[in-house]
């Protein structure tokens, strides 16, 4: 069969592959839609978490969004190198008291003991009085041994107070009734008030209070009654935790 002969330039033209068309880049619109979906999902999880959060957490989040910089300084949430801490002074004492109250409300059976907890602001600082009942609420009656309710409450206090740079003072008080558990008279209300204050100190330090944060331990026996009209009122038997004001 005869062969068809072509000029060299035409042979090259026939054998060359067709030119490649420029590729079109795919659109990135799906990435924007996916990012919106993930953001909406994260927002949903945050809302669900907030609905089940404690009052203390809700208060913290609310305070941060209202004043991020100021609230960060109040909580001591800045960089660790800044040496910040949750401080209490005359300007912030109300917010600190509210945080402590919110933390205590999370305790089991808080409603039963809430009437035995008294917070007040004095010239020295924030005073937290844990007042006894006739049967003994925070300490076993006539003993320096904390009850389970007293242990839980002091542990919860330690978790909050341990975050503060403020110094703490622990006081023990009794009512005016004489201590009768020791027939030899070697144990009286002075011993009981001081020993309970020391037992509270040990429990606080075990549960989160920093070493050296407690700077003073006081035992007053019945010399500083809460209810002076009734010296035998069991509420006069109490442990007081004083959070001293920190100078600016």
Q: What average pLDDT does range 167-173 have in this prediction?
A: 97
CB-based contact 196:140 (threshold 8 Å): no
Selection from 35-49, 86-100, 230-244 with the highest mean pLDDT:
230-244
User: Of the ranges 5-19, 55-69, 87-101, which one carries the lowest mean pLDDT score?
Assistant: 5-19
| Per-residue model confidence as pLDDT tens digits over 190-220 | 999 999 999 999 999 999 999 899 999 999 9
Q: Is the pLDDT of residue 186 over 70?
A: yes
pLDDT the model gives residue 58: 67
Q: Is the pLDDT of residue 79 over 50?
A: no
| Per-residue model confidence as pLDDT tens digits over 93-132 | 888 889 899 989 888 888 889 999 999 999 999 999 999 9
pLDDT the model gives residue 78: 42
Running DSSP on this structure, what letter comes out for residue 143? Answer: S
For each of the domains in the chain, give its residue range(s) and CATH number, in order of start.
Answer: 49-85 (no CATH), 86-244 (3.30.1330.60)
40 CB neighbour count, 10 Å cutoff: 9
Tokens of 10: 């035409």
Q: How far apart are CA 119 and CA 101, in angstroms?
A: 9
Quote the radius of gyration of the chain (alpha carbons, Å). 34
Q: How far apart are CA 132 and CA 238, in angstroms?
A: 6
| Per-residue model confidence as pLDDT tens digits over 64-78 | 666 555 554 444 444
Q: What is the largest CA-CA distance in the chain?
A: 139
The helix or strand, by DSSP H or E, that contains position 120, with its residue range, turns out to be: strand 117-121
CB-based contact 215:167 (threshold 8 Å): yes
Q: Categorize the per-residue pLDDT at 47 as very low, low, confident or very high, splitting at 50, 70 and 90.
A: confident
Running DSSP on this structure, what letter comes out for residue 172? Answer: E
Q: Which has more pLDDT, 45 or 137?
A: 137
pLDDT the model gives residue 81: 33
pLDDT the model gives residue 162: 93
pLDDT the model gives residue 24: 60
Q: What are phi and psi of 43, to 5 degrees?
A: -60, -40
**Helices of type H across the chain:** 8-15, 29-51, 55-66, 68-75, 93-105, 110-113, 148-161, 189-206
Listed as own residue / partner, the contacts of 123-126 with beta carbons closer than 8 Å and 24 or more positions apart are 124/169, 124/242, 124/244, 124/245, 125/88, 125/93, 125/166, 125/242, 125/243, 125/244, 125/245, 126/88, 126/93, 126/96, 126/97, 126/242, 126/243
Q: What average pLDDT does range 9-16 have in this prediction?
A: 53
Q: What are phi and psi of 147, to 5 degrees?
A: -80, 170
Q: What global pTM score does this model have?
A: 0.64
């Amino acid at each position: 069969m005869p062969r068809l002969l072509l000029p060299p330039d035409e042979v090259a033209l026939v054998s060359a592959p067709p030119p490649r068309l420029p590729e079109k880049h795919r659109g990135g619109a799906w990435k924007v839609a996916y990012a919106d979906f993930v953001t909406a999902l994260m927002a949903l999880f945050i809302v669900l978490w907030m609905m089940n959060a404690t009052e203390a957490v809700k208060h913290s989040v609310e305070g941060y969004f209202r004043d991020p910089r100021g609230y960060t300084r109040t909580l001591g949430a800045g960089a660790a190198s800044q040496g910040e801490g949750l401080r209490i002074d005359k300007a912030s004492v109300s917010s600190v008291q509210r945080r402590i109250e919110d933390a205590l409300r999370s305790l089991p059976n808080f409603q039963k003991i809430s009437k035995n907890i008294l917070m007040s602001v004095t010239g020295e600082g924030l005073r937290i009085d844990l007042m006894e009942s006739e049967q003994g609420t925070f300490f076993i009656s006539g003993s320096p041994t904390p009850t389970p309710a007293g242990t839980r409450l002091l542990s919860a206090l330690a978790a909050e107070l341990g975050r503060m740079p403020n110094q703490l003072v622990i006081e023990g008080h009794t009512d005016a009734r004489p201590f009768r558990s020791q027939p030899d008279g070697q144990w009286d209300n002075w011993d009981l008030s001081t020993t309970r204050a020391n037992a509270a100190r040990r429990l606080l330090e075990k549960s989160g209070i920093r070493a050296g944060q407690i700077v003073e331990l006081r035992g007053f026996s019945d010399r500083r009654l809460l209810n002076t009209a009734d010296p035998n009122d069991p509420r006069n038997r109490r442990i007081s935790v004083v959070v001293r004001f920190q100078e600016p």
